[in-house]
Amino acid sequence: MIKAKIIFIILGLILFYFIFRIKYSYQFRIIEKLILFIIFIFGFAIIIEPLILDKIALFFKIERGRDFLFYIYIFASFWGLLRSHVRINYQSSLIKKLASELALIKKKRQ
């Protein structure tokens, strides 16, 4: 069990390092980094002391901590899906705008 905790902590620290090296110019806002920081702290606390999850689950009247973790995952996945959808639509509109401007420039040259 101790080996697994050490491995998960090391993997979490590596992931933490790479995520926080991302520049703000990639549409990665400061609030998202703050949320990720809180998630990492929560994750490290769960790795070190898994019973924390059961205590939090009891507070929300959920029987098992694993179920609570799954519910959190559902909400986080939904948020990520919506965020990705918005980014894709925004980039698609930029590409369409660029293509139309290029077509107009090409037409003026002829």
pLDDT band with cut points at 50, 70 and 90 for residue 43? confident
Confidence at residue 7, expressed as pLDDT on a 0 to 100 scale:
83
Of these ranges, 26-30, 32-36, 85-89, the one predicted with the greatest mean pLDDT is 85-89
Q: How far is CA 66 from CA 4, 38, 42, 79, in A?
A: 18, 19, 14, 20
pLDDT digit string (tens) for 45-96? 888 888 888 888 899 888 888 888 888 889 888 988 888 888 898 889 999 9
Confidence at residue 100, expressed as pLDDT on a 0 to 100 scale:
92
Confidence at residue 69, expressed as pLDDT on a 0 to 100 scale:
86
Residue 36, both tokens = 């990720």
Confidence at residue 31, expressed as pLDDT on a 0 to 100 scale:
74
Helix (H, G, I), strand (E, B) or coil at 110: coil
Whether the CB-CB separation of 53 and 46 falls below 8 Å is answered with yes
Number of Cβ atoms within 10 Å of the Cβ of 85:
10
